[in-house]
Structure 1
Amino acid sequence: MRVLQLIDSLEAGGAERMAVSIANTLSESIERSYLCATRQEGLLKASLKPEVSYLFLNKTAKIDSAAIMKLKRYIKQEQISIIHAHSTSFFMATLMKLLRPGLKIVWHDHYGNSDYLEARQYKMLRLCSQYFSLILSVNSVLETWAKNHLKCERVSYLSNFATADAAQVLQTELKGTPGKRILCLANLRPQKDHPTLLKAFEIVNSHHPDWSLHCVGQDFEDAYAHSVYELVSQLQLQEQVFFYGSCPDSSAIIHQADIGVLASASEGLPLALLEYGLGGLPIVATNVGDCSSVLPKTLHEFLVPANSPEPLAKQLMVLIADADKRQQIAKLVKGYVLKEFSALAVRDKLMTFYDSL
């Protein structure tokens, strides 16, 4: 079996990390595992295992004939039988199916705004979906949506999974006081709702001024990012809130933190929460998407409503006030994530899907 993971970029986003993780995991289980980035390379390229064959198309337009023919030749040369297309790369995968009808297309839906699906633009996706052999959705809401709106007969749920690299070399040293750091792994996108997080942290800071907030994720240098930095200044949190941009050493960063937080307005199944859990962090998050599936039911008090700074601050301070409780909760979350979201379990399920094609 030869399977190609197809993704638009290798920047450090959730869909991108999953494409790399799947390619790496499959490299130990199938004849040949491939990954192709269509438009842009990025930090995650360094995370690919040597056993994964890699191709970069440098696609510059929606219809880029040079990139299309390059991928067609590569698929023929390598005798690839399945394209596992992630997120918006479905269009390129569909073109390959039209050029090579024997290919099987698996489309993986990582759509992060699953709480606002009524606003999703999907006309082209619906058209292309008739050529898919299988759709994989990262949560049950997206699974139901695909069954009701797209033209593929087979739709299934496949959970995200995270892998922790204990030997990862530390490149990013967090500022602030050791033992008193809150970490947010999230690109600077409106969906991640940094303003709610900052307003919650302002409340935390008024009670615990020695604690700090550390935001790791890509800065797109747009209006949203500018508004986030402006809010930090307005709240006078410049000495307690730190931004690091996109970083390649998330596992090493997590080991420097004490609490993991996510204040998203909408989510699919966020990898950040899985990474927090594997890294031994207690978690406070908004109850959106499938965030609740990452925590055992006994810890659902640490899931709070979206767009609500006060409950978010309250639960952060519950953890801040009790170091023993933080350790106990971190142990519970880690055990739960290892059991429910292990790479091996997801790999075996994915292999079953591939075999069925």
Structure 2
Amino acid sequence: MRIVQIIDSLNPGGAERMAINYANALAQRIEFSGLISTRTEGILSNQIESKVCYLFLNKKKRIDFFAISRLRKYLKKNRVDIIHAHSSSFFIAVLVKFTMPKIKIVWHDHYGTRVRETKKENRVLVFLSIFFYSIFAVNHELIEWSKKNMKCSRVIFIPNFTRFPKIVKQETNLKGNDGKRIVILANLKNPKNHILILKAFCELKLNEMGWSLHLIGKDYYDIYSDILKNFIKSNSLADHIFLYGEKNDIRYILSQSTIGVLTSTQEGFPVTLLEYGLENLAVVSTNVGYCSIIIKNEFTGLLFNPFSEFEIKEQLLKVVEDDSARMKMGNNLGQLIDEKYSEKKVIEQIILAYNKK
């Protein structure tokens, strides 16, 4: 089996991390595993392991014949059987298939918000889906959307998994008190809903209890970012709420943290929850997407409605005030992820899915 993962960038994000995870994990199990970034590289590029055959296309425009030609040469040289296209990279995969009709395209949908979109809003994707061999989706809502709207009948649920890179320099030292750090891993953009945790932190006066809040994720320096920074400044919380930008040493960051939070109004299957669990953090999470499947009860974490300030405050206070419950939640979540969402289990599923007739 000879497979290449294609993704538009290697900037930190769920789909991007999964493309690298698949490429690295498959490199240990199949004849050939490749990875291609089409538009931009990013800090995740240093997580690509040596056995993975990597190419950066440097695609400049929507239909870039030079990039298509480079992609075609790579596929022919490495005798690739399957293109595993993540998110919007399906477009260039289909363009190259026109010149290599025998190659199979598997399209992987990570975009939780799609379930709220219409077929018309995704007309290019729907039209080109006739060229897909299979569709993989990260939650059951996305499965149903594809079955209803897409022109490919082979639709398969594949859960995410996570694996931390083997060697990453430990360089991000979190501020605040040990044992009292709350972290949120999410780029500063919609629908990540950071303002909800900022308001909850402020109204609960967690800073007066010695707690600090740490935002890890890309800052786009836009209106969304300005709203968060203005809130922090206007409530005199600059010594308790910290923004770090995009970081690569996630495992090291989480090793310094106590509680992991996810506040999104839409999610597919958040890799973030898996990362929190692998480091045994107590989790307070939104109940959208696949979150409520991972966190089924209070033994593995606490859920809230992302549109309810009351609910997040209520749940956050529970884990802040109860050290014993917090520790049990983190341990239970870690055990659950190891049992159900380990690399070994998911890779076995995806290899079967690649071969499904």
Q: Normalising by structure 1, what TM-score?
A: 0.96
Moved more, 87-96 or 287-296: 287-296
1:147 corresponding residue in structure 2: 147
Change in 2 beyond 3 A, CA 1:345/1:301:
closer
1:120 CA displacement:
7.8
The match for 2:234 is 234
Contact between 1:23 and 1:52, CA under 8 Å: does it hold in 2? yes
Q: Is the 8 A contact 2:300 2:329 kept in 1?
A: no
Name 1:329's counterpart in structure 2.
329
SS in 1 for 2:117: helix
The AA in structure 1 aligned to 2:148 is N
Distance 1:313 1:151, change over 3 A: same
Q: Is residue 57 of structure 1 aligned with residue 57 of structure 2?
A: yes
Indicate if the aligned counterparts of 2:301 and 2:333 stay in contact, CA closer than 8 A.
Answer: no
Q: Does 1:264 align with 2:264?
A: yes
What SS class does the counterpart of residue 131 from structure 2 fall into?
A: coil
Which residue number in structure 2 is paired with residue 170 of structure 1?
Answer: 170
Structure 1 range deviating more: 120-129 or 50-59: 120-129
State the shift of 1:2 in Å.
0.8
SS at match of 2:253: helix
Equivalent in the alignment of 2:38:
38
Q: Which has the higher mean CA deviation after the structures are superposed, 287-296 or 270-279?
A: 287-296
Letter in 2 for 1:291: C
- Measure, in 2, the Cα distance between the counterparts of 1:260 and 1:153: 38
Counting only pairs closer than 5 Å after superposition, residues 292-331 of structure 1 correspond to structure 2 as 292-299=292-299, 302-331=302-331
For the residue of structure 1 that corresponds to 2:232, the secondary structure is helix
Alignment of 1:52-131 (within 5 A): 52-114=52-114, 116-118=116-118, 121-131=121-131
Q: Name the stretch that deviates more: 223-232 or 57-66.
A: 223-232
Q: Relative to structure 1, is the Cα distance of residues 60 and 131 closer, same or farther in structure 2, using a 3 angstrom cutoff?
A: same
Tell me, yes or no, if the aligned pair for 1:4 and 1:36 is still in contact at 8 Å.
yes
- Residue of structure 1 in register with 2:188 after alignment: 188
For the structure 1 residues 226 and 158, does the alpha-carbon distance in structure 2 shift closer, same or farther, using more than 3 Å as the test? Answer: same
1:204-223 aligned at under 5 Å gives the runs 204-205=204-205, 208-223=208-223
Judged with a 3 Å threshold, the aligned counterparts in structure 2 of structure 1 residues 330 and 155 are, in CA distance, closer, same or farther, namely: same
Q: CA deviation at 1:295?
A: 1.8
**Identical columns (%):** 39
* Match in the other structure for 1:27: 27
Q: Distance in 2 between matches of 1:323 and 1:338?
A: 23
> Which one-letter code corresponds to 1:274 in the other structure?
L
User: 2:98 aligns to what SS in structure 1?
Assistant: helix
In structure 2, the residue corresponding to 1:307 is in which secondary structure? coil
Matched residue of 2:105: which SS? Answer: strand
- Tell me the CA shift for residue 207 of structure 1: 7.3
Alpha-carbon distance in structure 2 between the residues aligned to 1:16 and 1:30: 21
Instruction: Indicate the residue corresponding to 2:137 in structure 1.
Output: 137
| Distance apart, 1:236 and its partner CA | 2.5
CA separation of 1:7 and 1:207: change in aligned 2, threshold 3 A: closer
**Equivalent position amino acid for 1:66 in 2:** F
Secondary structure of 1:272's partner? helix
The more displaced of 50-59 and 169-178 is 169-178
1:343 to 2:343 alignment: yes
Tell me the amino acid that sits aligned with residue 137 of structure 1: A
- Alpha carbons of 1:3 and 1:348: their partners in 2 closer, same or farther (altered >3 Å)? same
TM superposition shift of 1:48: 0.7
Whole-angstrom distance in 2 between the partners of 1:54 and 1:222: 32
Contact 2:301 2:329 in 1 (8 A): no
Q: CA deviation at 1:298?
A: 4.1
Q: Which moved more, 1:218-227 or 1:249-258?
A: 218-227
Judged with a 3 Å threshold, the aligned counterparts in structure 2 of structure 1 residues 336 and 296 are, in CA distance, closer, same or farther, namely farther
Separation in structure 2 between the aligned mates of residue 88 and residue 95 of structure 1, nearest angstrom: 13
Report what 1:179 is aligned to. Answer: 179
Q: Tell me the SS of whatever aligns to 2:74.
A: helix
Q: Which runs of 5+ in 2 are unaligned?
A: none
TM-score, length-scaled by structure 2: 0.96
Aligned residues: 357
Instruction: For residues 71-108 of structure 1, give each alpha carbon's deviation from its aligned partner in whole angstroms, at most 9, with x where no partner exists.
Output: 01111111111000000000011111111000000000
Does the 8 Å CA contact 1:295/1:336 hold for their aligned counterparts?
no
Is this contact kept in 2: 1:105–1:134, CA < 8 A?
A: yes
Does the CA-based 8 Å contact 1:217-1:247 persist in structure 2? yes
- Secondary structure of the equivalent of 1:96? helix
Tell me if structure 2 keeps the 8 A contact 1:203–1:310.
no
Secondary structure, in 3 states, of the residue corresponding to 1:4?
strand
What is the deviation of 1:266?
Answer: 0.8
In structure 2, distance between residues paired with 1:105 and 1:45: 23
Cα distance change of structure 1 residues 187 and 119 upon mapping to structure 2, 3 Å threshold? farther
**Would you say the 8 A contact 2:156–2:353 is kept in 1?**
no
Give the 3 Å change call, closer, same or farther, for CA 168–204 of structure 1 in structure 2.
Answer: farther
Code of the aligned partner of 1:113: T
Q: CA RMSD in A?
A: 1.6
1:246-277 per-residue CA deviation (whole Å, 9 max, x = no partner) reads 00010110000000001111111111011000
Deviation of residue 113 (structure 1)?
Answer: 1.5
